[in-house]
Chains A and B, each alone.
Chain A
């Protein structure tokens, strides 16, 4: 039975604010084509497929039934995760660990531009009885969270703005990213307030795109790829859903998921042992919160890491070198896929202008966005 599982092929589309030329199925088809080509496999060689879909975001009831075709998975074992891509990746990983399946493909896709009432759909994720009747823009949850986080830690809006500046700048060197820009801290602070203290530029813009990856057991991975990227540890955790009883200052689910993943990957000192991180920055302050929850610094210290340039591409711990969700775009359930993709490209040494030197161990993290409290982590090595 295999104990090691590797990613042997990745494929993605560009991540852009709109993709009118392709249907959502064709987006996935494009990513799948690339991933299979890279892995040197055809759909017939793949034992199982794991897709990622949320009915309302896909625009279908029972959206999982619409997943097989574009992956080449018709008349094959398919299962669909209503969560983030990283949860699907973990499912595929566990399928291979059973020893019954050898090659598994994982998919996620965002066609946010098809959702003409995006915020209304997000509001549907709120408790219908206690929260939805207020009929407020879902960004209010991020506003509440950011305000309490800044209050508790004394982290400043300027430090949050620096995250936006860094990530959008990183995205300029990522040809896949759709929202790169060279902006200033003042630009962020002076952009219109959406839900105080959150401004327009503190929020990752929605984006389209698809990612497919091919996973294989150790022996097969070594045959298929000369640069297999190994899964070293995984963790996932969901906190209470209630707005009324959750912690408003800290993402505890990320902390617990990290403990699970670090234990599995035998990582004791994350800051020293991990070379780069792609973490959820759907809002600027989330990058700082998540740095703390992932134990790269103690509570309230993340602002200083940004001030000191530690998290820049040339820094001691590069964070979101891809541009993150702020620079690439909010890909909804495909967000974690973009994070994992960047880690894999970096560990292979294929990240072009944004390549990080001596990148051997990387961490990908996803949070499922407002109003969720689910966090997922995967740690990879080359």
Chain B
């Protein structure tokens, strides 16, 4: 067993370039429908609460990820939150440099145990701090299409 003769010159190496064309539709499900319809139609953020664990999930889930109970209690959690952590991204997905860095934050929605990972806007990156209060800024109603991008960003309150 074993390799007895290896390729010795780069020029002798052959490769085949290929692409995997992957197209997919992800239906958002029962909790996702509630969440995105509220965003689209009313500019509201909803979560589900597990009464047993006293945990409020944002985005909502139809089950508690801790005790596995079914959750049906959708609640309006408001649009304000706190920067739990943030980062400033200097690179695009392909590794190229961004023209302008983006600020991404994990925003804990006030009064809940969840939140949203989204951009921060209307703030200079050097002024961002963990713990600062922010609120969701939505696109104009006619531009909203039921996606996470219906929220433009969170901005300081």
Seen from chain A, the residues whose Cβ lies within 8 Å of a Cβ on chain B are: 20-22, 26, 29-30, 32-33, 36-37, 42, 56, 59, 72, 116-117, 119-120, 123-124, 128-131, 133-140, 143-148, 151, 192-198, 240, 242-245, 248
Contact = CB atoms under 8 A, between A and B. Distances in A.
Interface string B101-133: 010111000000111111100000100001000
B130 to A, nearest CB: 5
Contact of B91 (A124, A139, A148): A139
B104 A20 contact: no
B93 A120 contact: yes
Given A130-B148, A134-B148, A244-B59, 11 more contacts: A21-B6, A32-B1, A59-B18, A120-B93, A129-B32, A137-B93, A144-B85, A144-B86, A147-B85, A147-B87, A195-B87
Contact of B3 (A26, A116, A144, A242): A26
Contacts of A56: 20
B21 interface: no
A194 B91 contact: yes
Among B2, B24, B84, B93, max chain A CB count under 10 A is at: B93
A244 B58 contact: yes
B3 A29 contact: yes
A146 B125 CA distance: 17
A116 B116 CA distance: 30
A139 B106 contact: no
A129 B148 contact: yes
B18 A143 contact: no
Contacts of B42: none
B1 A37 contact: yes
Nearest to A135: B93
Interface stretch (B7-15, B67-75, B135-143): B7-15
A349 B124 CA distance: 54
Contact of A129 (B28, B65, B125): B28
B91 A117 contact: no
Contacts of A124: 22
Interface of B: 1-3, 6-7, 10, 13, 15, 17-18, 20, 22, 24, 26, 28, 32, 57-59, 65, 84-95, 102, 104-106, 113-119, 125, 130, 147-149
Contact of A194 (B3, B15, B59, B90): B90
A145 B84 CA distance: 10
A196 B88 contact: yes
A111 to B, nearest CB: 12
B28 A143 contact: no
Among B3, B26, B88, B105, max chain A CB count under 10 A is at: B88
A279 to B, nearest CB: 22
14 contacts: A37-B2, A130-B117, A133-B149, A134-B117, A136-B93, A144-B85, A144-B105, A148-B130, A151-B85, A194-B89, A196-B125, A240-B65, A244-B114, A245-B57
Contact of B116 (A32, A130, A148): A130
Q: Which 4 pairs between the two chains have the least Cβ-Cβ distance?
A: A143-B87, A148-B85, A196-B88, A128-B26
Contacts of A32: 1
A242 B60 CA distance: 11
B89 A120 contact: no
B95 A137 contact: yes
Given A20-B15, A33-B2, A139 B89 contact: yes
A248 B105 CA distance: 11
Contact of B10 (A20, A123, A143): A20
